[in-house]
Amino acid sequence: MSAPARKPVHVAVYDTLADWETGHATAYLARAGHPVRTVGPSADPVRSIGGLRIQPDLALADLRPEDSALLILPGADLWDTSQDLAPFARAARAFLDAGTPVAAICGATAGLAREGLLDDRAHTSAVSFYLAATGYGGGEHYTDADAVTDRGLITAGPTEPVAFAREILGLLGVYEGEVLDAWYRLFHDSDAQAYDVLEKAAAR
């Protein structure tokens, strides 16, 4: 009897998205058998800050929390220069209300702050005063850490894509315990000994 199909992980894509922030997470989610689907403001192509043209798999209006394992929100210049991405912050609220986790990095954390989603959760971002500039009410819950997970919400700053991925892989059970730690040490610290741990785990 085959294992039940896993729900897809949805990665938000929009113009000016920071394309370096989600690669570690999506690569290892896909390797572990999690379908990865992109969701845009519409079905029209978008272009990342690095100039990559991305054709979304579906439009945000067609995304439902019950059909997803996780919503990933990367940073983008648009988070701080317009209200164009506010619908993605509202979608994050719907996901969390439905019990489906959300992961936000870089400017997406500011979008969630403006939506009020960080007012009562431990969280992090680039720096505390970046989020304080949004006028949000969660400053006392800001944590100076590479990445933070609290009640289904992962946050990280723009310099921590590997830690961001670590929290995602741990939350979805791709890696656990010493294997998750080894994965992080390999890609964050270039620790050669960590590779041996991963090889032994893959052989089991």
**Same domain, yes or no: 160 and 188:** no
Domain assignment present for 2: no
Evaluate whether residue 82 is within a structural domain: yes
- Whether residue 166 is found in the same domain as residue 115: yes
Q: In the chain, which residues have pLDDT < 70? A: 1-4
| 13 and 38 fall within a common domain | yes
In a shared domain, residues 30 and 91: yes
Quick check: is 3 in a domain?
no
Chain centroid to CA 72: 4
Q: How many domains does the chain have?
A: 2
Task: Output the pLDDT for position 57.
Answer: 98
pLDDT of residue 202: 87
Residue 4 located in a structural domain: no
Domain with 185 in it: 176-204
Q: What is the pLDDT of residues 10-28, one digit of tens each?
A: 999 999 999 999 999 999 9
CB distance 60 to 17 below 8 Å: no
Catalytic residue numbers read 106
pLDDT recorded at residue 4 = 65
What pLDDT, on a 0 to 100 scale, did the predictor assign at position 204? 82
The answer to pTM > 0.85 is: yes
Same domain, 53 and 150: yes
What's the confidence (pLDDT) of residue 40?
Answer: 98
- 165 with 184, same domain: the answer is no
Q: Do 146 and 166 share a domain, yes or no? A: yes
